[in-house]
Structure formats: C-alpha cells, structure tokens
Structure 1
C-alpha cells in the first residue's frame, strides 16, 4: 500500500501498480489535475478536476488525503464489472495524435551535416486492470491545445501544439514528470541547408520506455534523411531504445502501428 504524504513529490515516477481494498480510495494532484480513484465491489470510479487553464510548467505531483476536497467542477466516470480485482495499474502514455513543436527560432542544419534534437512531449494517464487489454480511462495530464498541420486548410491533420522544450544537448533538457523525451536525428546529405520551423512529431507511432537511471520517460528515436531537395525526406522510426537512455523498462506500445517509415513531419525544409 502507498503511505499518505503531505508534501510535493520530487520523484518523477508518479505511476505504477496500486492495490485497493473494497471501498478504498487514493487521491493525487498531478500538476494542476486533481484525480481520485475508488474501488467498489462491482465498479471502479474516478473523480477528477481539470482547471480551465493549465500551465505546462507545473510538473510537480502530490499524494493527497483520500477524502481531499477537490475544486469544482468535478467530473465523474464509472466502469462496471461483475467483480473488481484489488489491483490496478496507473501508467503514462503518449498522446493520441501527433504533436507539433515550433522552436522559438528556426533551426538550420547546413549541407552535409548531422545533428540531433531532443524534444519532449506531454503525457496521458491511463488505468489498466487485469484481463483487460485496453485502458479503462485514458486522458492527458495537461491537455495540449489543438492545432492544424498541413500545406493547406484542406490537406493536413489535426494535431496538438505544445510549448517547445527541446535542446541539442540532452543535459540541458530539464527532467519533467509529465513529458517524455524523443531524440530526432537529422542527416542532411543534400547540397542545401535544412531549416526546421514546425515539426510534426508522430508520438502515437512511438513506444514508451522508462529509464531507472535517469528517471526519465523516453520514446524510440526518429531519423530524418534528406538526400535531395527534389525529394521529401525519408523518416524512419527506430525500434530499438535510444542508447543515451541507458537501461530501460518497456512501458507502453505505440498506439498505432507504423511500417517503420513515415511522411509529413515538416511543412517546409528549405
């Protein structure tokens, strides 16, 4: 069982396996999201409050008193069973759409150069019980804003937009509890420099891992090969874990399967 704590947690790992007796509740504050989970004999019940304006900078979390009064409005969801088990997993998950990042200043990669960019994207929280393949619930800790990505209003896709938290130096990327890191490697073998303005990161096609050594959550790597300005870049999702993550534990599969190569990560490159 988890002990009640009344202080803000500095540990990045807010998720895991939890055991409930009948009619027992656990409550948390994940950033600005208040969340309560209750086990009854024939149903799991969640209660949560999400403020109208959430701030991405609020990345701390806290275990609360089970009967903590939440701010209004409080939303409720019930999941009915013949009989509930005592165990449930709360797990992080990557977003259910692509996430568009936009550096404050455009990034340039000269002809013939290699470069790596480490970016982070927001996480979802899901609940999984034994004998159920799909999560009972699955929603963002901090809900990103919607954005459109495409060459026109008719051609493109609905994505999420998130404040940029990226760096060419992993050491400068601040660890955050509710974001996962994706390394993107660029190979510019064309005769012109690449310019990166808006990047459409297909996080729904990426698996999720956890590094005990660093405490961070990671996705697999993405590699971008630009051979010629006359052809779109080849974009490959790696299946192996990022070497810089160290030893990792597999957390979640990709939401959607990918053939390994994808398209449409950039609106313009030159």
Structure 2
C-alpha cells in the first residue's frame, strides 16, 4: 500500500493520512476525536477553521455544504499550484505526562517496558513542490500540568488522560493516538520508584503499520543515580513492536547527541509520594 493510500482504522471509520485534491470555493470537513476541522481552497491560497467538541467522532475529509459555526477562518496565502492538501499525524508541541496504573518500583540493575498512548495532532500541508504548513490542530484537549518539584527545576507539559501499560493487549484507547514504547533502565544498586512519566514527544517521529496503528520510536530512559542526570535516547527507526511500519512524520525537534534529562532525573526519580 503506497504512502498516499495509507489508512488508519478507528472506531470502524477510516481516517486517511494522504493528499486530498480540493476545488476552489468548496468547503471540506473532517472529524478526528474531539477535533472538527474545515478547509477551503480560495483563489490565492487556503483557509482553515476548527473547533473542539466534548464527544469523539471520526470521519473522512470530504466536501460539505455547511460553513463552520462558532469557528473563525484563518487565511493562508500560498502559490497558485497548491491545489491539494495533505493530512499528517504529528505529536504535541509540549512534553506529555503519563501515570502508570500504579506506583512503580524497578529492581536494581533491571529495566521495565511501558506503553503510553498519545493523542496526535493533525498537521495540514498545502501540496506544492515544497509542502507548506497550514497549521497543527490537536485532536484532543489536554490540560497543562507542572512536572517537577515546585521549588526546583521542571517544565509545563500536557497531562494525559490514559495510563501507561506494560502490555500492548491492555491498550484499548488507540483511536487517534500514537503508541509510545518507553524503556526505563535502572543502572543503580537501589530500587527505582516513580509514579509519573515525562515524555519529550517533540523529539519523536510517528510511524504507521499496515493495520493502521500509529507508533512512535522507542524512548529509553536510563537512571544512574540521584547525583547525575538521567540519559535519554530515541530509537532511529520504528520500534520492534511495529516491524515494517512506515515513517509518516519527523520529530518537531531533532534530538541532539548525548541528550540528558536533568528535569527527568529530578522529577521522575526523586518525586515525593
């Protein structure tokens, strides 16, 4: 199946991450989870509108007769040859905070694998020889939360509403979400206890398997003790749980060599309980 026809099956509906040819003056609409998105090709470019609903829904991008209510159009001036748009799944623009099913303790010199589902954002791109971004639109509204000790270093991230799991069979919330494998390695001689995970999703890519599921590359967190920061590494390909998956979007920020996580070391691994 080619890139232009890759399909993600969600709730019995089809959400196609592909290019759509659009006529001038026609309004197109689609739904993904809480997001309602409208697109319109105009003589000198494109305009978009969106809003969020409390109920989740999924529908293909198609022509519609109604104009969006309670939403304002945003206009983009683009080259005249931008006659189609592409919908691309990307990860949020901030780190996300996930809680496991319960307080976790990893034995000395041991490691644990967890799976977190992350609501994707929809990136709209005008198709020209050089793709032009027409905005990133969250498919779910997530609350912002402070991660870290109040008096020490930390950062603001999005609080996920789902739990980190240790078995992919327990993931029942994959609609409109990317599955992120997180490997936590305890390199010390003491048990590692934590109750939250902070994931730097800006450094992650999105992949898609033939069954339509979205995945990120693996995130590996290594803990070496309270004095030194944790290390973070990101897989360069699709995770082993998603063999054969195709790359559909690059990271927002390419991870630098030797990336460390002092915030994660201070926040995840020294949390008050």
Matched-pair contact (CA < 8 Å) for 2:197–2:268:
no
Q: Identify the residue that residue 248 of structure 1 maps to in structure 2.
A: 245
Q: Return closer, same or farther for 1:147/1:36 CA change in 2, 3 Å cut-off.
A: same
Distance in 1 between residues matched to 2:264 and 2:206, nearest whole Å = 20
Q: Return closer, same or farther for 1:168/1:104 CA change in 2, 3 Å cut-off.
A: closer
Matched-pair contact (CA < 8 Å) for 2:98–2:196:
yes
Matched-pair contact (CA < 8 Å) for 2:208–2:245:
yes
Aligned pairs, number? 256
| Displacement of 1:13 | 3.4
Distance in 2 between residues matched to 1:137 and 1:110, nearest whole Å = 44
Deviates more, 1:235-244 or 1:147-156: 147-156
Q: Identify the residue that residue 66 of structure 1 maps to in structure 2.
A: 64
Q: Identify the residue that residue 122 of structure 1 maps to in structure 2.
A: 119
Q: Runs of 5+ in structure 2 lacking a partner?
A: 1-9
Matched-pair contact (CA < 8 Å) for 2:100–2:165:
no
Whether 2:197 is the aligned partner of 1:199: answer yes
Q: Select which of 19, 38, 41 maps to 1:39.
A: 41
When normalised by structure 2's length, the TM-score is: 0.84
Deviates more, 1:107-116 or 1:202-211: 107-116
| Structure with greater strand share of residues | 2
Q: Identify the residue that residue 269 of structure 2 maps to in structure 1.
A: 269
Q: CA RMSD in A?
A: 2.3
Any idea what SS the aligned residue of 1:190 has? coil
When normalised by structure 1's length, the TM-score is: 0.85
Matched-pair contact (CA < 8 Å) for 1:165–1:173:
no
Distance in 2 between residues matched to 1:198 and 1:188, nearest whole Å = 15
Q: Select which of 63, 83, 87 maps to 2:84.
A: 87
Deviates more, 1:9-18 or 1:19-28: 9-18
Whether 2:102 is the aligned partner of 1:105: answer yes
Matched-pair contact (CA < 8 Å) for 2:98–2:198:
yes
Distance in 1 between residues matched to 2:141 and 2:206, nearest whole Å = 19
Q: Runs of 5+ in structure 1 lacking a partner?
A: 1-7
Matched-pair contact (CA < 8 Å) for 1:92–1:126:
yes
Q: Identify the residue that residue 170 of structure 1 maps to in structure 2.
A: 168
| Displacement of 1:183 | 0.6
Any idea what SS the aligned residue of 1:152 has? coil
Q: Deviations over 1:126-175 (max 9, x none)?
A: 11122445511112111211111223356322211111232111122125
Q: Identify the residue that residue 221 of structure 2 maps to in structure 1.
A: 224
Deviates more, 1:157-166 or 1:10-19: 10-19
